[in-house]
Amino acid sequence: MSDIHSTAFRYEAVCTELGIEPNPYVTLMFDKEKEEAVFEFKESMDLYLAGNNKLLTDKRLVDSDAEALYKTLCNNTYVDGLDLRYNNLTSVGAKHIAKLLEETVTLKYLNLMCNDIESEGAEAIAKALHKNESLRVLRLNGNKIGNRGGMCFAQMLQVNKILEALDLGDTDMTIEAVIALPTVLFRNSTLKALNVNRPLIFSCQEETTVHFAKMLKVNTSIEELHLQKYDMRDFGATRLAENLMANMTFNYLDLSCNRITRDGTKELAKVLKNNTSIKILDLGFNRLEDDGAMHLAEAIATYNTTLETLVVASNGIGNKGLCALADAMKTNTTLTSIFIWGNKLEEPACIAFASLLESGRLKPENTDIQAYVVDGVTKLCELSNQIRRHYYWAPNYGSDVPSWQPRGKNPRGSDVVIMKNLTVY
């Protein structure tokens, strides 16, 4: 049975064996864990080594550090989460991480977001996951793995029956890989969350959206899907709506940063009227305008009893649509969070949402606006709250720190949530 002391000792021994100096960042995080162990017994730890935390380090990890971590953790049972986001790991370092995935029995969470891993490194990680029986969450967002890397992960999903969340957003996948992923998910029954934001698609036929829509009709394990920046229009939104009508396990649909207008929103509102299991609907940065907001408001006010979070930020919605949404919240009791900043916030809309905030129907932590009055005129200002505000960074202090993470002097914020709903410790 490993503990923090044996883990730290093993790391120093590995560095001596490899002829390299122990990385001060890794040593610092081990020392902080030792301090905690004095006051609290812990069975495991999340090793947080994000390269963008200036409070902890000014030197990002490189491939030699990845090799040292592999040799340290391959037989380790104490570290079950590894956060290596925003470092300088290339495909060479990714191959060392792949060896770790082949040999580890405890690692559940791995974050490699925004490194320099390309298709060769992605292929090594994907092949390692053919054998791995522990990893639940993998984040590769921002690594340019391309079409070859995406195809490797599609093949992996045919074999792996353990992985529950996969983040391949902003990885420069092209149409072949994007179609391959929903195709293999027709038979995969373990993956719960998938992020395939911003692929490089040059077709105007929305084939990829159609494939995801057909997959959602038959897949009963997927709970969360992110399709940002797909150039999706009303045709694609309609296909998704048609196939979601009978899906009673899907919780979170992210269609932000697309080109959906009132017509596509009308079809998505029908899904809400059907009272499916969708709890979070993100339509931010589309083209809903007043008519689209009215369709959503009607569904929320009269039919839906499941939706908990709605994002309609930056959609050109004016007083008519915003007031309708505010009125809908007065009758709906399940919608607790709504994000509206970036629309046409004139005084009638400001008064409507200020009333919701004042009455307590809408909590300040569940929206991105705050009301204030100047010379008798009600205005709204923006709050930093966002639907996925901790996607790119992990908070170190304050009320945003997760309850399971120590606050204050131990800034070990390991974000083990790939997306909003799915939490794997």
Q: What would the mean pLDDT of 20-28 be, rounded to a whole number?
A: 95
Relative orientation angle of helices 234-244 and 207-218, to the nearest 10 degrees: 10
Percentage of the chain with pLDDT > 70? 93
Confidence of residue 422 (pLDDT cuts 50, 70, 90): very low
Q: How far apart are CA 387 and CA 419, in angstroms?
A: 10
Confidence of residue 204 (pLDDT cuts 50, 70, 90): confident
Contact 340, 314 (CB under 8 A): no
Q: How far apart are CA 349 and CA 15, in angstroms?
A: 61
Confidence of residue 312 (pLDDT cuts 50, 70, 90): very high
Q: How far apart are CA 317 and CA 285, in angstroms?
A: 11
**Among residues 171, 121, 164, which one has the least CA distance to residue 141?**
171
**Among residues 145, 198, 211, 201, which one has the least CA distance to residue 175?**
201
Diameter of the chain by CA atoms? Answer: 72
Element (H, E) at 374: strand 369-374
pLDDT tens by residue, 30-49: 999 998 888 888 889 999 99
The pLDDT value given to residue 416: 36
Confidence of residue 340 (pLDDT cuts 50, 70, 90): very high
Confidence of residue 403 (pLDDT cuts 50, 70, 90): very low
Chain centroid to CA 293: how far? 25
pLDDT tens by residue, 65-120: 999 999 999 999 999 999 999 999 999 999 999 999 999 999 999 999 999 999 99
Q: What would the mean pLDDT of 210-224 be, rounded to a whole number?
A: 96
The pLDDT value given to residue 42: 83
The pLDDT value given to residue 418: 45
Confidence of residue 392 (pLDDT cuts 50, 70, 90): confident
Q: What would the mean pLDDT of 319-345 be, rounded to a whole number?
A: 96
Is the pLDDT confidence value at 137 over 50?
yes
Contact 338, 325 (CB under 8 A): yes
Is the pLDDT confidence value at 417 over 60?
no
**Among residues 409, 422, 412, 415, which one has the least CA distance to residue 393?**
415
Q: What would the mean pLDDT of 340-352 be, rounded to a whole number?
A: 96
Question: Per the structure block, which two tokens stand in for 350?
Answer: 């400001």
Q: How far apart are CA 56 and CA 336, in angstroms?
A: 36
The pLDDT value given to residue 399: 67
Confidence of residue 203 (pLDDT cuts 50, 70, 90): confident
Bridge partners for 339 per DSSP: 311
Full set of structural domains in the chain with CATH: 74-382 (3.80.10.10)
Is the pLDDT confidence value at 377 over 50?
yes
Q: How far apart are CA 96 and CA 92, in angstroms?
A: 7
**Among residues 278, 286, 175, 293, which one has the least CA distance to residue 229?**
286
* Pairing of the two strands 369-374 and 377-382: antiparallel
Which residues 6+ apart lie within 8 Å of 41 measured at CB?
Answer: none
